[in-house]
A and B are shown apart, each in its own frame.
Chain A
Amino acid sequence: MAVPETVATALDDRAVAGKRCLEAGAGAGSATLGLLSEGAREVFAVTNDREHAETVRERVGGDGRVCTLEADLREVPLPDDTFEVVTAHALFNVVTTAELPAIADELTRVAAPGAQLVVDDYAPLPESAAMADLFALENAAGELATGRQPLTFYPASLLRSVFESHGWTFERRRTLLDPVPWTDSHVQTHADVAREAAASLDGDLGDALTAEADRLVETIGSESAGEMYSLAFRFDS
């Protein structure tokens, strides 16, 4: 299994070898894999999603250096001052503005003095991008179904100032992808999230949102749009 270019590029100027790492929001395990292949001593891969935790175990759990932990990053059961490397690869786009401060507090609390932090995420899409319509639909359906907005695209400058205000020193910004290739399968998978939320709504509204998801998949196909960036910080206190 190959480390995606995005992860490899975000880590290639970081010192990971021999370090104790926290992968915040382990998702599909890509960043965990990247940390391992850079020679991490240990990787704690944390996610609040049981299926993701299983995926990560399946993909990289065979490596004795990985510990997969199912927990909420707003209140993570890990000790203070522990991790020398913290990564949040494509985490914050699934974190609402209400949840963001608590997660930033926790990532800072568990970071060891001198720790490095890598935050990779998507810049807000240009309004002209058709993908922006699909994400808006996903958010509308999700909000109606659960009261929670599934996606938030933070500008790099915003995440930078959040972590600076927590005592992190900004080191660099890199562009990982520009444009971002939203492939057929990305489009389908995001549409499925919207459809699933729509299906739980009663009557015409659910049907209308489902029809709109179908229409968007049809018109978008695949699209290259937006930017994925990487921010790196150091914890000096």
Chain B
Amino acid sequence: MQTRDLGATGQTSSVVTFGTIALNWLEQEGANQLVELVLDHGVNHFDVAPTYGDAELKLGPKLRQYREDIFLGCKTQERSYEGAWQKLERSLDRLGVETIDLYQVHGLEYEDELATITAEDGALAAFREAKEQGLIDHIGLTSHGNPGLIRDAIDEIDDLETLMFPLNPVVDAKDSEEYDYDAVLQRADEENIGTLAIKGFAKGSWPDTAELPEHERSYANWYEPVDEPDVIRDRLNYVLSRGVDTVVTPGDPKLVKMVLSAGDRYEALDEAAQRAIVEDARHAESPVPEQLHH
């Protein structure tokens, strides 16, 4: 699998990052097998979080076995200094490792959260101490919130080294500013910040739970995913052609394999082919009735 420099971190990441939430749905034996498979495909960047059920615990054994081969990203939803320290120590403990390579502020959504984490007693103060002590190597941020807020975060956090945010053709087909993650990508590139794409394989939201109860959903994802190998391949090619460094696998183990196989065969798309995928996604999302043309 191809690799790309993750911003200025010095890390070179595989174009596919393993989103280890998929391990939560498996027994330990299955989890071990999936990690082996992912590594066999040349994936060297893993992402985990304490909020992903048992993912940290299930990742632990294989992570420790292959610690040197894996660039480990973890994250916390804590916004305070104390809370962030506690969660970091807990994650290190549950993963059973000495260090985490990339520690990320998880799911920044509101403006006041940005103020909180950057304050003197905010989470980032804990991140910086942990970095000085050698417990973490790099500082990152994840958000599926307002692109404007993410750009503010870039401006306000000088030592920010990576960003994780949504990028897919369905979102790119929407014109309004609240979906302008492209501007985030450009800004990140200017600052040489590493970029990780999430929701790359999202087709849309799940139907309302009244219509389709949660336990009847066909995949263990936050959103309804695309699930045909060709479409998955188009999506991966699209997201990576936009210029992000790496794309995170979807949450359902069934889909991880298809994404790995697409990742092995990644091919850059020119702009006309990227537009074709955006138009395709736009029609799938909200077909203009009676439309004969493009």
Contacts and interface: CB of A to CB of B under 8 A. Distances in A.
Interface of A: 2-6, 9, 27-28, 90, 93, 175-181, 183-186, 189-190, 193, 224, 227-228
Given A178-B276, A183-B287, A228 B294 contact: yes
B280 to A, nearest CB: 4
A2 B283 CA distance: 12
A185 B287 CA distance: 7
Given A2-B173, A183-B283, A178 B291 contact: no
Interface in B265-291: 270-273, 275-280, 282-284, 287-291
B196 to A, nearest CB: 25
Contact of A6 (B270, B279, B290): B279
Q: Could you say which interface size class chain B belongs to? A: 20 to 34
A177 B175 contact: no
Contacts, number: 71
Interface of B: 173-175, 270-273, 275-280, 282-284, 287-294
A180 B289 CA distance: 18
Contacts of A186: 283, 291-292
Contact of A177 (B275, B288, B291): B275
13 contacts: A4-B282, A5-B275, A5-B278, A5-B279, A5-B282, A6-B279, A178-B270, A178-B276, A180-B276, A181-B279, A183-B287, A184-B284, A227-B272
B290 A90 contact: no
A86 B289 CA distance: 26
A180 B276 CA distance: 6
Given A175-B272, A177-B275, A179-B273, A2 B294 contact: no
Contacts of A183: 280, 283-284, 287
A177 B294 contact: yes
A179 B269 CA distance: 11
Contact of B291 (A3, A180, A185): A185
A175 B271 CA distance: 9
A92 B163 CA distance: 45
B283 A185 contact: yes
A92 to B, nearest CB: 11
